[in-house]
Amino acid sequence: MDEREELIHQLKAELQWVKYRMRMLDIIEEKLLQMRRMAETAKELKLSAEEINSLNIEIHNLEEQVKALDSESRKTKDDEIL
């Protein structure tokens, strides 16, 4: 490949990663909004200790999913996809 073709190849790969990252960020945003709604609902309602514990477990699970999605869709310092 000549230099121009190599650049085109790199730019196409970068575009694919950006599209993938945007999809992951959309999913992350939905999970964060879900966590927020759960927390706001819990704040408004008088929940039992058991209900609060259950809600905290659900929020923690969503938090772990967010962390995994973010980590999975990032790049390294060398611009390599993790």
Question: Is 81 a residue whose pLDDT tops 90?
Answer: no
Is pTM beyond 0.85 here? no
Which token pair is 76?
């390294």
Total domain count for the chain? 1
**Higher model confidence: residue 76 or residue 18?**
18
- Per the structure, the complete domain to which residue 67 belongs is given by 3-72
Predicted local confidence at residue 74, as pLDDT: 87
Say if 82 falls within a structural domain.
no
C-alpha 23/C-alpha 55 separation (Å) is 27
25-50 per-position pLDDT tens digit: 999 999 999 999 999 998 899 889 99
Please give the full DSSP string across 32-78, using - where no structure is assigned: HHHHHHHHHHHHHS---HHHHHHHHHHHHHHHHHHHHHHHHT-B-TT
Say if 78 falls within a structural domain.
no
Say if 79 falls within a structural domain.
no
Say if 81 falls within a structural domain.
no
What's 81's DSSP letter?
A: B
Say if 31 falls within a structural domain.
yes
Predicted local confidence at residue 61, as pLDDT: 98
